[in-house]
């Protein structure tokens, strides 16, 4: 399979996930996982799909697999993408009733979040201030 074909199927799986067609997404993602066992993005997507289907053990396994495969470089994007696996791992652990492990995983996720800039504030004529959305 060519890389472009893999990307097409992965995009299709993401569309199924976005529109809550989880079983269709699962079929595509399981096939992609068989074809590309070392791709952390496929494992991460499959973890989310399993979580949404209520297959928490499988979700945990795929989240942990994606963490083992991820070798993020120092770029913010790479770290953020890898960090999603910690979030998925925490959610799966929580759903399995393993709260302490889940708290550790989610603490790691939140500690690695990039700080967000505060919303710009505008001074109003009456002296009050209001946050303004940039959009």
Q: Say how many Å lie between the first and final Cα of the chain, rounded.
A: 41
The answer to whether the predicted template modeling score (pTM) of the entire model surpasses 0.85 is no
For 102-132, how does the pLDDT look when each residue is reduced to its tens digit (9 = 90+)?
999 988 888 877 655 555 555 656 666 555 4
Secondary structure (3-state) at 2 = coil
Alpha-carbon distance values, 69 to 24, 51, 55, 88, 120 (Å): 25, 19, 21, 15, 39
Give the tokens for residue 70: 């991820």
49: how many CB neighbours lie within 10 A of its CB?
A: 26
Report pLDDT for 110: 83
Mean pLDDT of the chain: 84
Beta bridge partners of 122: 130
Mean pLDDT for the stretch of residues 55-72: 89
Q: Look at residue 78 and tell me whether its pLDDT is greater than 90.
A: no
Report pLDDT for 128: 62
Distance CA(109)–CA(21), nearest Å, equals: 27
For 4-22, how does the pLDDT look when each residue is reduced to its tens digit (9 = 90+)?
899 999 999 999 999 999 9
Distance CA(4)–CA(21), nearest Å, equals: 23
List the domains of the chain with CATH numbers: 3-112 (1.25.40.10)
Q: Look at residue 73 and tell me whether its pLDDT is greater than 80.
A: no
Report pLDDT for 44: 94
């Amino acid at each position: 399979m060519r890389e472009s074909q893999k990307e097409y199927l992965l995009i299709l799986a993401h569309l199924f996930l976005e529109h809550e067609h989880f079983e269709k997404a699962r079929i595509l993602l399981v096939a992609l996982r068989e074809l590309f066992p070392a791709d952390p993005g496929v494992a991460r997507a499959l973890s989310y799909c399993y979580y949404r289907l209520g297959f928490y053990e499988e979700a945990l396994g795929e989240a942990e697999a994606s963490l083992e495969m991820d070798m993020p470089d120092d770029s913010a994007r790479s770290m953020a993408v890898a960090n999603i696996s910690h979030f998925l791992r925490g959610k799966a652990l929580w759903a399995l009733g393993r709260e302490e492990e889940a708290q550790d995983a989610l603490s790691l996720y939140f500690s690695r979040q990039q700080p967000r800039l505060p919303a710009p504030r505008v001074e109003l004529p009456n002296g009050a201030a209001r946050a303004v959305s940039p959009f």
